[in-house]
Chain A
Amino acid sequence: DAGVIQSPRHEVTEMGQEVTLRCKPISGHNSLFWYRQTMMRGLELLIYFNNNVPIDDSGMPEDRFSAKMPNASFSTLKIQPSEPRDSAVYFCASSRDGMNTEAFFGQGTRLTVV
C-alpha cells in the first residue's frame, strides 16, 4: 500500500480564497483524522471520521472549516474563506480501528495564506 496520500503538498493562496485539501486513507482502515500542526499549538485534532461518519468535530476552529468523507477512500478538508492564521501544516491520518490503534500519517499539506 502507498500509505496515506494527501494533495496538494504545498498550497499558497490569498486571504479570502477557498482552499480544499484532499486525503486518501490506507485501504481497509475505517478511521480517518485531520490534524493541524503549528509551532504555537502543536498537533491539534480537527475532526475524526469512523466508517465515513464524523464522530468528533469539536476541534474544527470555526464555521469556515468543513470536512467530508463521501466514501471510504476519500476525504476533503475545506477552508472558506481562508485567513492568514490558517497557515499551518495539515495532516491526514488513518487507522485500522479508532484512536487507540496506530495512526498512519500522510505527508501533510503545507498551507500558506497571504
Chain B
Amino acid sequence: GENVEQHPSTLSVQEGDSAVIKCTYSDSASNYFPWYKQELGKRPQLIIDIRSNVGEKKDQRIAVTLNKTAKHFSLHITETQPEDSAVYFCAAYGDTGRRALTFGSGTRLQVQP
C-alpha cells in the first residue's frame, strides 16, 4: 500500500521567515495530495491541496509543489506568523490498491515571535 514519509518532525522558525515541509510517497498512481493543519487540541483542517495534473498551487502565503517523477511534494509557508504554529500533515491518495488517504507522521511547526 501507500507509504508517506514526512520531514522534518519538528521545525522552529522566526516570525517572518519561511517554512518548508517535505513529503515523499511510494505509490506512483497517487493523484491527490492534501495538506492539513491541526492546532493543539483541535481537529485537522484542510489548508491546501494539489492534484497530479499540476505542479504548483498557491493560496496567499501558502504554496504546495509536486514532483511526480521524484514522488515528492512540499508545503511552503512564507512570512510566517505565530498563528501558523501547529502540526501539519501531508497525505496522499491513489485510485489503485487500497484507495485510502494515507497521512504522513506530521510536522510540529513553532513560529517564534
CB-nearest residue of chain B relative to A41? B105
B95 neighbours in A (Cβ, 8 Å): 100
Bound CA span A33–B103, Å:
14
Tally inter-chain residue pairs, CB-CB below 8 A.
48
Bound CA span A105–B43, Å:
6
Q: How many residues of A contact B (CB 8 A)?
A: 20
Task: Give residues 16-50 of A contacting B (CB, 8 Å).
Answer: 33, 42-45, 48
Contact yes or no, B46 A108, CB < 8 A: no
Chain B interface residue bracket vs A:
20 to 34
Q: Is A53 an interface residue (CB 8 A)?
A: no
Contact yes or no, A91 B46, CB < 8 A: no
CB-nearest residue of chain B relative to A91? B43
B103 neighbours in A (Cβ, 8 Å): 42-44
- Tell which of B100, B104, B106 touches A45, judged by Cβ atoms closer than 8 Å: B100
Task: Give residues 64-100 of B contacting A (CB, 8 Å).
Answer: 89, 93, 95, 98-100
A59 neighbours in B (Cβ, 8 Å): 100
CB-nearest residue of chain A relative to B100? A45
Which of A48, A105, A107 counts the most chain B CB atoms within 10 A? A105
Looking at chain A's contact residues, is the secondary structure mostly helix, strand, loop, or mixed? strand
Closest chain-B Cβ to A11's Cβ sits at a distance in Å of 16
A residues apposed to B, CB below 8 Å: 33, 42-45, 48, 55-56, 58-59, 91, 99-100, 102-108
B99 neighbours in A (Cβ, 8 Å): 55-56, 99
Contact yes or no, B93 A100, CB < 8 A: yes
In the complex, 18 of the A-B residue pairs with CB atoms within 8 angstroms, ordered by the A residue number, are: A33-B101, A42-B104, A43-B103, A44-B103, A45-B100, A45-B102, A48-B100, A55-B99, A56-B98, A56-B100, A58-B98, A99-B32, A99-B100, A100-B31, A102-B34, A104-B46, A106-B43, A108-B43
Q: Is B26 an interface residue (CB 8 A)?
A: no
A48 neighbours in B (Cβ, 8 Å): 100
